[in-house]
Amino acid sequence: MIDIHTHVLPGVDDGSESMEMSLKLVETALESGTHSIIATPHCYRGVFDNYAGEELQDRWDALHHAVRRAGLPVHLYQGMEVMACEDLPDLLKNGRVWTLNSSGYFLLEFEFGEDPAWCRKIISACIAAGYIPVIAHPARYYFVQDDPGIVYDWYRLGCGIQLNKDSILGDNGRRARDTALSLLRHCVVSCVASDAHRTYWRSTDMRRCEEYLGQNFGEDYTYMLLEDNPDRILRGRKLVGYKPLPYAE
Ligand SMILES: [Fe+2]
């Protein structure tokens, strides 16, 4: 598996608290069958001011070296989880944001109660600027829970759609789970990731999720969500999927 959404970079956001915890998160990922991880610290103005630059690069290098020293055979890549903002297309064009492994894909999140019309405007502006948003955990957004057809629209615009394992397994509550399963049934999901923060909070363990998806959605769909599309994101290739089912008006 390839985990495209993790907060394993220590000390930069509400994710891993220490290098020791980061190594534990990587170890757990490997044990659960994940071979590649993108570290995606929050990039959220005024809250987690992580932008591309020397400081973040040094922190990423330190994690990379620690992982190597510990002999953990994981492939580690750079990324960010960017909170949507008006000037996002400029931030992307000016290289202030780490896209996912320097591809044209970047991980984008919204406030849980955001205005869907504004979301669409930001998404469209980023696409017009030449970047493809991968929308982080839409099943957790209240406006998506109220109207999951919004995700069908994003999918049709060309976005990647990333679900959190916890939403699928029910650990983010009933509404997030119902929404996640509905999005999966409507074939508007590109990939599933851990969004791991800490060893005791949303870990990197993907086993239960992989099992659940295999049993309920079949091996091919599961492979697409956990390996094929994440690999396409890493390499900047076109995402694949089944024919999406529109939501009734
Ligand atoms: Fe996240």
Q: How crowded is residue 238: how many other Cβ atoms within 10 Å of its Cβ?
A: 8
CA of 248 to the centre of ligand 1 (A): 30
- Judge whether 202 lies within some domain: yes
**CATH number of the domain that 183 lies in?**
3.20.20.140
249 residues of the chain, pLDDT tens digit each: 999 999 999 999 999 999 999 999 999 999 999 999 999 999 999 999 999 999 999 999 999 999 999 999 999 999 999 999 999 999 999 999 999 999 999 999 999 999 999 999 999 999 999 999 999 999 999 999 999 999 999 999 999 999 999 999 999 999 999 999 999 999 999 999 999 999 999 999 999 999 999 999 999 999 999 999 999 999 999 999 999 999 986
Ligand 1 center–CA 219 separation, angstroms = 26
**The predicted structure's pLDDT at residue 133:** 98
Report yes or no on 249 lying in a domain: no
Task: Identify whether 209 is part of a domain.
Answer: yes
Is position 240 within any domain? no
CA dihedral angle for residue 168, residue 169, residue 170, residue 175, rounded to 10 degrees: 10
Number of structural domains found in the chain:
1
Q: Kindly report the backbone phi and psi dihedral angles of residue 244, in degrees, each rounded to the nearest multiple of 5, phi listed first.
A: -70, 145
Structural domain range at position 15: 2-235
- Within a domain: 244: no
Distance of CA 249 from the midpoint of ligand 1 (Å): 31
**Sign of the CA dihedral with 138 first, then 144, 145, and 148 last:** negative
CA of 54 to the centre of ligand 1 (A): 22
Does this model's pTM top 0.75? My answer is yes
